[in-house]
Structure formats: structure tokens, C-alpha cells
Structure 1
């Protein structure tokens, strides 16, 4: 009987958490739970970025509802989509690259995550 080859688990550098964080609110919650089991700088960085994006999107949506301007809503949605894509691409590449405009502030404001 031959011995079974042992597989050593590869260390998780947080890339999975970073990517999952960008997949809806439920994905963010799952990524937060995963991060709490294996804390990494990359995972924490992208959890903070996505939390900031979600809260920014919520605030801008409320503002748009109050102003009730259709064209403003379209611009907000396109802008949020671009920021989300930039964050997701950074996560997929395993980089800690803040999103434009408020990414650095998100890191400061949500420093408790991580």
C-alpha cells in the first residue's frame, strides 16, 4: 500500500476575501466572516473599500430620491459602477489600490475593520 501524498494547504493571502467582498451585501458579509477566521491586510483593505462604496451608494441614492432628478440618478449609478469595477479589478489583481475620490478616506474611516 502506497502512502497517500499529503497536500499542504496554500496560505490564503486574502485575495478570496477581497474578491467576495465586492459581490453584493451578502458577499460582503460572507467575506467579513471569512476575514475574521483568517485576517489579512488585503482582505481588510477591500472590506473597507466595499463598505465605503455601499454607504456612498446609499447616501447618493437617498440624495437622488430627495432631489428627484432622473439624469442625476443615471450619473450616480454609472459613477458607482465604475468605482465598483475599479475596486473589483484591484481585488482580482491582489493589489491594495484605493478607489478614486474617497478610497483613502474609507481606509481611515473604517480602520476598525481588520
Structure 2
């Protein structure tokens, strides 16, 4: 199975996080739909930026352990 890219996940979270693009990319469509339902509030955008920064700060091993394909 292919591992997910930490950089791609972070960029999706930062720039398209209000639509949940990073959640869909990471294989969590339920969370992605939740982000889509609430994008108009601006809350998912703020959370997406925070998640994107956290993705960038994690080590590659930790990121793959949490978000890589199992």
C-alpha cells in the first residue's frame, strides 16, 4: 500500500481545509463531509490551518503511523 504524503496533506489542510480536502485525501470521508457541512462557519478553515501546521511539525514516522495506509 502507498503511504500518504505529509506535505500534500499539510498543503490541502492549510489551503482547502475549510472543505475537508485533507480528510478526504487521508481516507476519512466522514470527517470530510462534516467539514463540508460546516465550512460556511469558518471553523473548519481555522482547524485546517492548525492541522496543516501540526502535520508539518510531525516526524514522517509519526505521520505515517497515524495517517498512512494500514
Structure with more relative contact order (C-alpha pairs < 8 Å, separation 6 or more): 2
TM-score bracket, normalised by the shorter chain, equals 0.3 to 0.5
- TM-score of the superposed pair, with normalisation by structure 2: 0.42
TM-score (norm 1): 0.31
